[in-house]
Amino acid sequence: MNSELERNPDLKSISKILLFSNNDLPYHLKSCFLYFGIMPEDYFIKAGRLVRLWIAEGFVEEQNGKTLEEVAEEYLTELIHRRLVQILATKFDGRVQECRVHDVVREIILSMSKEFSLCQILEKENSSFNATTRRLSMHIRYCNMDKVMKSISKSPVRSVFLFQEGELPKKPLLGTIAAHFKLLKVLDLKDAPLDQLDEEVGNLLLLRYLSIRSTKLKIIPKSIGKLQNLQALDLKHSRVSEVPFDISRIYFQFYPSFTSGGGGVGAPGGGGGHFSTDFQFYPSFTSGGGGVGAPHGGGSGGGVTSILSSSMVK
């Protein structure tokens, strides 16, 4: 696609229009728009996941009377109205469910991302790590993960993403990430062929967002309880059946009275302490206090504020 952009005069014109559109974007929308570059070509992303990632990255500005999720959804709507983002599916209430960017738009984003060092995309066989990048997106179906692991060194990387199915490296992936990326805030492992989460992940003390959605993972290490800055832990469609007590303790600091009758969420040590098999919790990030709003009130403080799971808290 990149070479086609160079040869095709029509695509060149589109490219100029897109560059003008990006330059015309308000500052708070530019990072959100360029963020689509981390995803593979033709990738569809759920709006809810995108919103949570934007929030964890710190792209979403506080607005009085609105949750951060509501503000982020307004950002997405603005990008759609500017025809920079395409809607693929909507919810019953008309809100966006899934979206993407056109391949041509993605190529423009990638060229701009290189200019601003927003993200390094590893999607080729000979890809290797650049220690100056702030975000790292590995498309493991195409890149040589063993080579990537050998090239990784200490770096100020803030976010790591794994996309597509493929073989993991022989060298422990998460152990390597935890050892070298001490400033990591976002770790998105959705759909990765993972069956184990290393204890070292608990050393990523700045981590705000951790997704192991749709992995083969069965056990969450207790070290995750050390992650006091964690805002979102996405376990949906994983094989996790129990969550360490440390996490449930942080969770119940926000929701000490949130119960659901028989077999629902109970306070730790109070005879409940587990999620029913059909329970899914989607709280709202508030724009004050850094916490999450309780079901009928405001929350505050830090700690785990979003557990998307049908799993059990032990």
- Are 248 and 194 in a shared domain? yes
- Are 77 and 137 in a shared domain? no
Question: Does residue 105 sit within a domain?
Answer: no
* Whole-number pLDDT of residue 6: 53
- Are 121 and 43 in a shared domain? no
* Whole-number pLDDT of residue 128: 77
- Are 267 and 212 in a shared domain? yes
DSSP conformational letter for 238: S
- Are 76 and 170 in a shared domain? no
* Whole-number pLDDT of residue 107: 85
Quick count: other Cβ atoms within 10 Å of Cβ 250? 21
Helix 103-116 × helix 27-34 angle, to 10°: 110
Q: What is the distance of C-alpha 264 from the center of its chain? A: 27
- Nearest in space to 184 (alpha carbons), one of 57, 50, 38: 57
Placement of tokens 């975000």 in the chain: 135
| DSSP helix/strand/coil, 87 | strand
Question: Does residue 170 sit within a domain?
Answer: yes
Question: Does residue 108 sit within a domain?
Answer: no
Query: How does pLDDT run across 239-273, given as a tens digit for each residue?
Result: 888 877 666 655 444 333 323 333 332 333 333 33
Question: Facing residues of 311 across strands?
Answer: none
- Are 125 and 161 in a shared domain? yes
What's the token pair of residue 248?
Answer: 């449930």
Question: Does residue 132 sit within a domain?
Answer: yes
* Whole-number pLDDT of residue 113: 76
State the average pLDDT for the chain: 75
Question: Facing residues of 45 across strands?
Answer: 99
Question: Does residue 106 sit within a domain?
Answer: no
Is residue 304 within 8 A of residue 311, CB to CB? The reply is: no
- Are 28 and 160 in a shared domain? no
Count how many domains the chain has: 2
Give the pTM.
0.77
Is residue 280 within 8 A of residue 272, CB to CB? The reply is: no
Q: What is the DSSP string of 117-155?
A: T--EEE-STT----TT-SEEEEETTTS-HHHHHHH--S-
- Are 247 and 152 in a shared domain? yes
* Whole-number pLDDT of residue 85: 94
* Whole-number pLDDT of residue 260: 32
Quick count: other Cβ atoms within 10 Å of Cβ 278? 6
- Are 155 and 235 in a shared domain? yes
* Whole-number pLDDT of residue 59: 94
- Nearest in space to 294 (alpha carbons), one of 304, 307, 284: 284
**Domain limits at 252?**
117-313
- Are 89 and 159 in a shared domain? no
* Low pLDDT (below 70) residues in the chain: 1-23, 166, 169-170, 245-314
Query: How does pLDDT run across 18-51, given as a tens digit for each residue?
Result: 665 666 788 889 899 999 999 998 999 999 999 9
- Are 170 and 285 in a shared domain? yes
